[in-house]
Structures are given as structure tokens and as C-alpha cells.
């Protein structure tokens, strides 16, 4: 089966963005006068909850606050997350995070080969646009035949909803695609959508379970790009999702 489309996760896959996300959460908390600070250890735990709004809500739950206070804080989560997103897009616009190794070359090879490109990310659309435009240029968002963000679907990763929506928009069967992810949640989502999945972990996710990954690489620069992925994809059908 030929490869007709590449489907990319964003955070951790296209760029190692999570420490900037973490800093921007903290900036939003400080701005609102909240006595919260997410250090690396706490953030690594909170990252298991995908989606920034869900992550903040989960953090509030963990505080075991009196009902009235927990309810008051739950109501400010959307505004808090919107403030965080403003900080994040500004940091990305300042060039805070480069693309990971091999990403730009692979995107260029895929475009020259006429493959379709897609984004399947839990983050917000403004964050996706900011990263693509400030690392690849203003026109970069037009390179993608489908861009699906976390709030575009009912359920975030590890549910397959984002990848399934991307496949619908691409009009390509799962067997004709390769998905790229960095985390266990992203791998589970891609495998649940029956996708051949390449995983390139970051320091935030290196310890996670990638048993069902079809390929596990330190980064996309480790191999000679599209031809390598096409060959590996042709050699065997993607591993099943069972162990995920």
C-alpha cells in the first residue's frame, strides 16, 4: 500500500513545546493572583491529562478544595486557559521553540512527492497556527490538507476522534497514512485509528509505554526521511492497537 498522507501531532512531535506551555500556564496563574506554580515534576504528571483546560480542571480536583471554592475556580478555567494561550502564542511568535530535527526536511520531501499533509493535535488552533507560521513561514498552514485541533472534536487523545476527523477530511484510508506522535496518549489515539505510527519521544514522555509503536526513533532526523518511512510502511502492516 502506498503512503498518500502524513499526519503530524504538534506538541512534542513537530517541536518540543511543553516547557513553554508550562511557563505560560504559570504566567496565567500569576496574572490571576492564583498561588499555583507548576514545576517540572508536577507538570510531567499533569501532562497525562491532555488538553490545557482539562489539565487545569484536573489540577483543581487534585487540590481537594471545599465545594464552593472548587466550583468558583472551575468557572474561571476557560478564561484562564485563554490567557495562557495568549502568552503561549506570543512566546512562539518570539521564536521560543524551534522545530525538532528532521521535521522541516520531511515536510519538504512530502510536499515535493505530492503527499497530503495533516495536523492532529490536542492543542488549540491558534497555537498550531502560531507554531507553523513562526517556524515554517506565513504560508505554512496552507501546506496542510487538514488541521484538526483538540476543541474540534468530542474527545481528546488518547481517544481516536482527532485522527478519525483528519482521515475523514483527507479522504485517505488509514492504510495509506503514517502518523507521527511523541506520547503514549498520542500513540494510543493513532493506533485506535488504525494508523501506522512513528513515535519520537521527548524528555517529557521518554519513560512512557511505546510497545505498539511501529517505529520508535529519538527524532525524525535519525533516518533519511520520507523514503525510509515509505519503506518501513511497505514492509509490514501497522502493529495492532491491542497492547496500547
Residues forming the active site: 9, 11
- Return the number of other C-beta atoms located less than 10 Å from residue 144's C-beta: 21
Q: How far is the CB of 221 from ligand XBP (least distance, A)?
A: 19
What string marks each residue from 71 to 110 as x (binds ligand XBP by CB under 6 A) or -? --------------x-------------------------
**Total number of residues binding ligand XBP (CB under 6 A)?**
18
The answer to whether residues 200 and 13 touch, using CB atoms and an 8 Å cutoff, is yes
Q: According to the binding rule CB under 6 A, does residue 184 interact with ligand XBP?
A: no
Instruction: Indicate the pairing of strand 146-148 with strand 215-216.
Output: unpaired
What string marks each residue from 128 to 167 as x (binds ligand XBP by CB under 6 A) or -? ----------------------x------x----------
Query: Given the complex with ligand XBP, which of 40 and 237 has the nearer CB atom?
Result: 40
Instruction: Indicate the pairing of strand 177-181 with strand 146-148.
Output: unpaired
Q: According to the binding rule CB under 6 A, does residue 21 interact with ligand XBP?
A: yes
Contacts of 173 (CB under 8 A, 6+ apart): 167
Residue whose Cβ sits closest to ligand XBP = 52
CA angle 16, 185, 24 (to 5 degrees): 40
Q: What is the DSSP string of 78-145?
A: HHHHHHHHHHHHHHHHTT--PBPTTHHHHHHHHHHTT-EEEEE-SS-HHHHHHHHHHHH-GGGGGG-S
Rounded CA gap, 229 and 219, in Å? 13
Q: According to the binding rule CB under 6 A, does residue 122 interact with ligand XBP?
A: yes
Q: According to the binding rule CB under 6 A, does residue 124 interact with ligand XBP?
A: yes
Rounded CA gap, 210 and 216, in Å? 8
Q: How far is the CB of 71 from Mg ion (least distance, A)?
A: 31
Residue 114 C-alpha from the chain's centroid: 24
Within 123-182, the residues that bind Mg ion by CB under 5 A are: 182
Query: Given the complex with ligand XBP, which of 182 and 214 has the nearer CB atom?
Result: 182
Q: How far is the CB of 7 from Mg ion (least distance, A)?
A: 12
Given Mg ion, ligand XBP, none, residue 51, with its beta carbon under 5 to 8 Å by kind, binds: ligand XBP
φ and ψ at residue 8, rounded to 5 degrees: -110, 130
Query: Given the complex with ligand XBP, which of 31 and 69 has the nearer CB atom?
Result: 31
Which of 5, 6, 7, 10 is close enough to bind ligand XBP by CB under 6 A? 10
- Return the number of other C-beta atoms located less than 10 Å from residue 208's C-beta: 16
Q: Tell me which residues touch ligand XBP (CB under 6 A).
A: 9-12, 18, 21, 50-52, 85, 121-124, 127, 150, 157, 186
Amino acid at each position: 500500500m502506498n503512503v498518500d498522507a502524513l499526519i503530524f501531532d504538534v506538541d512534542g512531535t513537530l517541536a518540543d513545546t511543553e516547557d513553554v506551555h508550562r511557563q505560560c500556564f504559570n504566567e496565567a496563574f500569576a496574572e490571576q493572583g492564583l498561588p499555583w506554580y507548576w514545576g517540572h515534576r508536577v507538570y510531567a504528571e499533569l501532562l497525562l491529562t491532555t488538553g490545557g483546560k482539562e489539565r487545569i480542571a484536573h489540577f483543581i480536583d487534585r487540590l481537594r478544595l471545599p465545594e464552593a471554592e472548587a466550583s468558583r475556580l472551575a468557572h474561571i478555567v476557560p478564561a484562564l486557559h485563554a490567557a495562557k494561550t495568549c502568552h503561549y502564542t506570543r512566546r512562539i511568535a518570539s521564536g521560543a521553540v524551534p522545530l525538532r530535527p528532521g521535521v522541516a526536511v520531511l515536510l519538504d520531501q512530502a510536499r515535493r512527492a505530492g503527499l497530503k499533509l495533516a495536523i492532529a493535535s490536542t492543542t488549540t488552533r491558534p497555537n498550531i497556527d502560531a507554531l507553523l507560521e513562526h517556524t515554517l513561514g506565513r504560508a505554512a498552514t496552507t501546506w496542510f490538507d487538514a488541521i484538526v485541533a483538540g476543541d474540534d472534536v468530542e474527545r481528546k487523545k488518547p481517544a481516536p476522534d482527532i485522527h478519525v476527523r483528519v482521515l475523514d477530511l483527507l479522504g485517505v484510508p488509514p492504510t495509506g497514512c503514517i502518523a507521527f506522535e511523541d506520547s503514549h496518549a498520542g500513540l494510543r489515539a493513532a493506533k485506535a485509528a488504525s494508523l501506522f505510527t512513528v513515535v519520537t519521544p521527548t524528555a517529557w514522555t521518554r519513560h512512557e509505554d511505546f510497545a505498539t509503536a511501529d517505529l520508535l526513533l529519538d527524532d525524525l532526523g535519525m533516518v533519511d526521511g520520507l523514503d525510509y518511512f515509505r519503506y518501513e510502511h511497505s514492509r509490514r502492516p501497522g502493529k495492532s492497537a491491542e497492547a496500547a
